[in-house]
Amino acid sequence: MSRYRRYEGGDPLAPPVDLAEALDAIGEDVMAGYSPERAMREFLRRGGSDQAGLDDLARRVAERRRDLLQRHDLGGTLDEVRELLETAVLEERKQLARDAMMDEGDRAFRQMRLDNLPDSPAAAVSELNDYDWTSREAREAFEQIKDLLGRELLDQRFAGMKQALENATDADREAVAEMLSDLNELLEKHARGEDTDADFADFMAKHGHHFPENPQSVEELVDAMAQRAAAAQRMLRSMTPEQRAELMELSAQAFGSPALMQQLDRLDANLMGLRPSEDWGGSEQFGEGGQGVGLGDGTGVLQDLADLDALADQLAQSYGGARLDDVDLDKLARQLGDEAAVDARKLQELERALKSSGALERGFDGELRLTPKAMRQLGKALLREVAQKMSGRQGQRDLRQAGAAGDLSGASRPWAFGDTEPWDIPRTLLNGVVRRAGDPAGPRLSIEDVEVSETEDRTQAAVALCVDTSFSMAMDGRWVPMKQTALALHTLIGSRFRGDALELIGFGRHAETMRIEELTALDARWAKGTNLHHALLLANRHFRKHPHAQPVLLIVTDGEPTSHLESSGDVFFSYPPHPMTIALAVRELDNARRLGAQTTFFRLGDDPGLARFIDSMARRVEGSVMAPEEGDLGAAVVGSYLGSRRGSGGASGPGSYGDWFGSRGFWAG
């Protein structure tokens, strides 16, 4: 037989989680110096453009908790008892005044007892326990006090009992007493390990209507009961000593039967033994002047507060091994509504998708890191953005041409509109055969089957990208654009010009060659020094390793050289720049020119002294200078590289980028 329930997953037609946005944000944070683990957590905390994050959910949990504390205080039961007691005494006084047949001595004695009642409601109720009421209305009001206390005490442990037992008969009270006795016997057998499934089934068949949680086992029953009982204990500790003392005195008179309190005390002892980990000793301070609640309602409020505290911990994700699957969606839906649970479920799906997408992996040290696949995806996104800036038009289509009509690279790719490369006939036919194996009635050849052969330019280049990693780059906000530029160029060469050799060189106080993964994960360095001399030494070594390739030297810097490498291997630093530092940098730049390098300087910042120095260096080697904004650095570097490959000596300006791409059809629209 089929069973159905309400769908709780949000909009069933909603699109899947957007990994692209998440990966872009994570990649940018990693380049800014975050670890991939922290970058992922930060994105989940912020959320996406159309996705609430953990911070928003945590804020709503805190607001809900604050609202509960401000709206409720725990004097509700005492206030209700006090009102009923005043009603009983007032009705009795009226009856005494009206009853002309009453003995004057009896009347005086009764009035004296009413006049001398203690101020404490608990003491007054105890004092009137044996009072023989002459007024029917007064007697009914006083009996309501005992009935209220009994229902409140039961409502602490059994949700809804207060309303269910309103106007209860003696038979109803006897049924409750029997249920408590049977419950305690079941829990005691369970503690000894002597209970059976049949014992639980028999108990639920007889008393299940008292348990709206509908537990499916003794363990679930204990969980539900222990949470409310612990909340009841916390509620008592949240009251003033005077309130607590009065309620304890009044509780002894509940239903007019001490047996009820004995069974409840026995129940608390059993639950504490079975669930010692519950918070049995805590307390919560409620706001003053709020809406009064009774014992049962107060227990419910405290249970809500306990749920909210647990949700706050789960959403904070600050404990070891935290993951979003820890968030209790049922509690979140109860406290904040179904929409909040849907938001949290989407974040859970996003976290799982990020970890299963192959974009993040754990290294031997247990730390998350970006995989090569993620680096390629991030590089492609950056390269696409660079192409749009270079073409000068938004929304253009990437035709993914690997080169003009040059040498075949041996690779192929699916055909796209505008491709001019020759078809790869074997791959195209094989695709058609494979497709028709699953669809025999389909056409023999479809446009989706077509693959074209990739080609590469015949000219090879040895490219040295020297990027300044001194403290000023990080201080002035150029750290992330520098990394993005390196990744975009690395992606372009790795995917379109695989015959070219790229060397990434970072230079601060000293220089070093880096893999792209090392450069993108590089933390900001605060040591002073711009060692262009050492960077040029490494660049020239790279050029000499590739004697048949066209050398392309790209230098990104925001400062004059202030350090150089001495013959001993030590680093010399001086500011203002020492003449020897300038001379050594110029010498290595001349060496690069003799090797045939086409040089482009990318000057960042508006320092006039730097501008004069860079201009003179570029004139010396017949190179070019560009002064892009940080956001345009990637387009400037990539454009210069592409221009150098065509033998143009570097791009002359932004206008040439669109011309180059238009003529090559690289990202033409």
SS (H, E, C) 354-373: HHHCCCEEECCCCCEEECHH
pLDDT reported for residue 620: 92
pLDDT reported for residue 578: 92
The dihedrals phi and psi of 599, each to the nearest 5 degrees, come to: -110, 135
Can you tell me the distance from the alpha carbon of 446 to that of 427, in angstroms, rounded to the nearest whole number? 13
pLDDT reported for residue 69: 56
Tokens, residue 308: 């909210």
**Beta strands 72-73 and 51-52, pairing class:** unpaired
For the chain, the straight-line distance linking the first and the last C-alpha, in angstroms and rounded, comes to 58
Can you tell me the distance from the alpha carbon of 304 to that of 312, in angstroms, rounded to the nearest whole number? 12
- What are the C-alpha distances in Å from 359 to residues 37, 50, 83, 351, 377? 12, 22, 66, 11, 9
Tokens, residue 51: 């996705």
Number of alpha helices (DSSP H) and beta strands (DSSP E) in the chain? 26, 16
Kindly report, residue by residue over 47-62, the tens digit of the pLDDT.
Answer: 877 778 888 888 888 8
The answer to which of 366-375, 378-387, 644-653 has the lowest mean pLDDT is 644-653
The full DSSP string for 617-642 is: HHHHTT-EEE---GGGHHHHHHHHHH
The pLDDT of 481-507, averaged and rounded, is 85
CA proximity to 424, closest of 405, 443, 406, 410: 410
pTM above 0.75, yes or no: no
Q: Where are the domains of the chain?
A: 19-71+323-357, 76-285, 405-456, 461-664
What percentage of residues in the chain have a pLDDT greater than 70? 66
CB 588 within 8 A of CB 540: yes
**Res 585 pLDDT > 60:** yes
Q: How confident is the model at residue 231 (pLDDT cuts 50, 70, 90)?
A: low
**Helix or strand or coil: residue 423?**
strand
Tokens, residue 523: 């933390």
**Res 505 pLDDT > 90:** yes
**Res 185 pLDDT > 80:** yes
Q: Which helix (H) or strand (E) holds 184?
A: helix 170-192
pLDDT reported for residue 187: 86
Q: What is the CA radius of gyration of the chain?
A: 40
Q: Where are the alpha helices (DSSP H) in 289-408?
A: 295-316, 329-336, 338-356, 372-391
Which range, 224-228, 241-245, 536-540, has the best average confidence (pLDDT)? 536-540
The pLDDT of 141-150, averaged and rounded, is 69
The pLDDT of 78-105, averaged and rounded, is 83
**Res 368 pLDDT > 90:** no
pLDDT reported for residue 459: 65
Q: How confident is the model at residue 655 (pLDDT cuts 50, 70, 90)?
A: very low
Can you tell me the distance from the alpha carbon of 274 to that of 157, in angstroms, rounded to the nearest whole number? 15
pLDDT reported for residue 6: 52
pLDDT reported for residue 665: 38
Kindly report, residue by residue over 1-20, the tens digit of the pLDDT.
Answer: 455 555 454 454 455 566 77
Can you tell me the distance from the alpha carbon of 393 to that of 661, in angstroms, rounded to the nearest whole number? 11
Question: Average pLDDT, whole number, for the chain?
Answer: 74
**Res 94 pLDDT > 50:** yes
Q: How confident is the model at residue 589 (pLDDT cuts 50, 70, 90)?
A: very high
pLDDT reported for residue 668: 31
Residue 35's identity, in one-letter code, is S
Can you tell me the distance from the alpha carbon of 287 to that of 103, in angstroms, rounded to the nearest whole number? 50
**Res 255 pLDDT > 60:** no
Query: Angle between the 338-356 and 329-336 helix axes, to the nearest 10 degrees?
Result: 150
The class level of CATH for 461-664 reads alpha beta
- pLDDT higher for 138 or 659? 138
pLDDT reported for residue 21: 73
**Res 246 pLDDT > 80:** no
CA proximity to 501, closest of 555, 553, 556, 542: 542
CB 302 within 8 A of CB 235: yes
The pLDDT of 655-659, averaged and rounded, is 39
Kindly report, residue by residue over 271-324, the tens digit of the pLDDT.
Answer: 888 888 776 665 554 444 444 444 444 444 546 666 777 788 888 877 777 777
**Res 661 pLDDT > 50:** no
What percent helix, strand, coil does the chain show, rounded to 5? 60, 10, 30
Neighbours of 73 (CB within 10 A): 23
The answer to which of 5-14, 189-198, 272-281, 501-510 has the lowest mean pLDDT is 5-14
Tokens, residue 434: 């494979």
CA proximity to 285, closest of 496, 111, 461, 72: 72
Q: How confident is the model at residue 366 (pLDDT cuts 50, 70, 90)?
A: low
Q: How confident is the model at residue 464 (pLDDT cuts 50, 70, 90)?
A: very high
Neighbours of 318 (CB within 10 A): 9
**Res 649 pLDDT > 50:** no
CA proximity to 634, closest of 395, 360, 459, 378: 378
pLDDT reported for residue 541: 96
What percentage of residues in the chain have a pLDDT greater than 90? 12
**Res 257 pLDDT > 70:** no
**Res 365 pLDDT > 60:** no
Q: How confident is the model at residue 534 (pLDDT cuts 50, 70, 90)?
A: very high
pLDDT reported for residue 120: 62
